Amino acid sequence: MSSNTISAVLEKLIRHLCLENFPCGNGSWRSAGIKGAETEETDTLLDLLSCPRSPWWDDTLWSPQAAALRQLAVLRPERLNADFVYSYFTTLRIVDKDVSFVDDGLLQFSKLEELVLSANKIHDIPGGNLPSTLKVLELCANQVSSLTGLVSRPPPHLQYLGLGSNRLGSCEDISHLTGRHWPRLVCLDLSYSEFEDQWALLNALCTLPCLKTLVLEGNPLTLASCYPGFTVDSLPQLSCLDGSWISPEERHGFKGLTEMRDLIVEWASASVSVGRMRGIPDPVMSVDENAPEFPLVTYSYYISYKFLRHQTAANLLDRESECDSAPAAERMESDSELPSVQNCEKSNTRDLMVHTQETCCDVSHVSQHSTPKLAWSESMDFSDTQTYAVRDLRGFKRFLSQGLQLRIELEKVLSWPAPSEDSIATKPNQTAKEKKSGKGKETLKSGFTKDKPKDKKKKPAQELVQDAPITRVLASVHVPLQNLLRGSHRIDAVCDFGVLCTEPVVGATPTCEKASLPAKQAFQEREGG
């Protein structure tokens, strides 16, 4: 028998109860009638079982019947046999025990009503290996990717089914959540799975005649704007949704949504707002007073982040025509506001990406947005809001699970005087003979003296040329967005970037020769002198 089956784990736990060994069982320590035998009082034996400091104490949280069975092994040890022990258990909670398979050994527990197998490694669970007496079955946080085995022979009296945090969400999985398989199901937990087609899922769930409690939070479909209204109106018998009771006012407010599902597109909308930023050091304070006049340096700041690419109505129609899916359902707006980026400083020059190895979606579906560029001030108000329409709800869910990466970026621009026309045109016209005799110089001088009153004009403003901008990431911060998957519609975050350094970039000039020359010499070259 493999050690990762449910039977192997249960047999190990039952052996730890020591039902046939001291202080339980029918050993010599119970032979009170034999003269000279070393015996113990019943109360003493029970104390050895219940005292936490006793070496015979055992953790029996895995079943409420375990502690009672040990006491029975002291009081009435003659009643214990294998069949009695297995039939004594009505509740089993095997959590985080690396169980990977539910074998037919579980059928020995003939009176089992509650089975909790959360946080294990179960991929599939054969319904034929479950006792028919089960009323509660919880398989949350496993690796279940199909319900085919479970519905092959489902427990007929099951009232609670917990399937949250698994790999479910296909059309086949939806077809197995009907009243034909679960006629007495009262509570269903499908949280944090991959169900996206709200219309198809509700068409299946409405066939469950006894369903009163439903948990869907964490699924892609909950990000659509038609949630929870479409769900509430489609399941009139539902009393509790995602841990909240449905009031008569809410039900009345959502009344009639199911009749409009042909007119509604299932998509999500999210708004990202960036507000004020304070605390960036003034870059002018670090400028050397003895530095040359040129180049002139200007600084500007902006916030950048990556988000799912906005999809227009035309994009949505194109994608709808490409898919052979069922008619789409209603849309809901999941607004995530991220204002007030304040005290924004932290030294970090790495270009951090939003997507990781398990990327939220294809890179082509992610776009980068930058706020308007502002000159330095003590408080920079970006007042930038962007709204994104998202059709890929599964990709949107993974994106929200990863969160948003905000970056402060600095743009530095160097400006130089444009080359003078006189300096370019005058000097090359002198001949070698004129240079030697000095006549050219005199003629130029006399002509200049003579014409000076006529040619004297007001000196125009100096024209500047700019180098290519130099950008640098000053700091980045991660904004978690998981609360949007838990039902929140807004997240307000004040981002603290820590200590920020705005020192000039080393090797800032884009051309090699300029980078290798002092600033004064480079300026002279631009003047043509």
Tokens of residue 13, six digits? 């736990």
In this structure, the number of other CB atoms found within 10 A of the CB of residue 259 comes to 9
Distance CA 198, CA 264 (A): 12
Q: What are phi and psi of 473, to 5 degrees?
A: -80, 115
The mean pLDDT value for 404-408 works out to: 93
Distance CA 227, CA 397 (A): 14
Instruction: Return the beta strands (E) in 167-231 as ranges.
Output: 187-189, 213-215
Q: Which amino acid is at 317?
A: L
Categorize the per-residue pLDDT at 30 as very low, low, confident or very high, splitting at 50, 70 and 90: low
Highest mean pLDDT pick, 17-21, 87-91, 261-265, 458-462: 87-91
Least confident of 174-178, 498-502, 511-515: 511-515
Chain segment 339-390, per-residue pLDDT in tens: 333 333 333 322 323 332 333 344 447 889 999 999 988 899 999 999 998 8
Chain segment 424-473, per-residue pLDDT in tens: 555 555 554 444 444 444 333 434 344 444 454 555 667 888 889 999 99
Separation in Å, CA 87 to CA 84, 112, 131, 227: 5, 8, 11, 44
Cβ contacts of residue 49 below 8 Å, gap of 6+? Answer: 23, 24, 56, 57, 58, 67, 70, 71, 74
Categorize the per-residue pLDDT at 259 as very low, low, confident or very high, splitting at 50, 70 and 90: confident
Tokens of residue 84, six digits? 């009695």
As a whole number, the mean pLDDT across the chain is 76
Least confident of 176-185, 235-244, 247-256, 506-515: 506-515
Residue 77: the pLDDT is: 72
Residue 42 has pLDDT above 90, yes or no: no
Record the pTM: 0.71
Residue 528 has pLDDT above 70, yes or no: no
Residue 364: the pLDDT is: 45
Highest mean pLDDT pick, 181-190, 338-347, 379-388, 478-487: 181-190
Cis bond upstream, residue 23 (ω within 30): yes
326 class by beta-carbon count within 10 Å (0-12 exposed, 13-18 middle, 19+ buried)? exposed
Q: Collapsing DSSP states into helix, strand and coil, what is residue 475?
A: strand
Separation in Å, CA 158 to CA 137, 237, 395: 7, 18, 34
Distance CA 188, CA 9 (A): 27
Distance CA 16, CA 9 (A): 11
High-pLDDT (> 90) share of the chain, %: 46
Distance CA 484, CA 8 (A): 41
Residue 295: the pLDDT is: 83
Separation in Å, CA 481 to CA 43, 356, 389, 464: 56, 16, 17, 46
Strands 91-93 and 470-479: unpaired
Residue 104: the pLDDT is: 94
Residue 299 has pLDDT above 70, yes or no: yes
Residue 286 has pLDDT above 80, yes or no: no
CA 173 to chain centre: 24
Query: Token match 């838990």: residue?
Result: 486
Distance CA 302, CA 370 (A): 7
**What DSSP line would sit under 476-513, residue for residue?**
EEEE--GGGGGT---------------PPPTT--SSHH
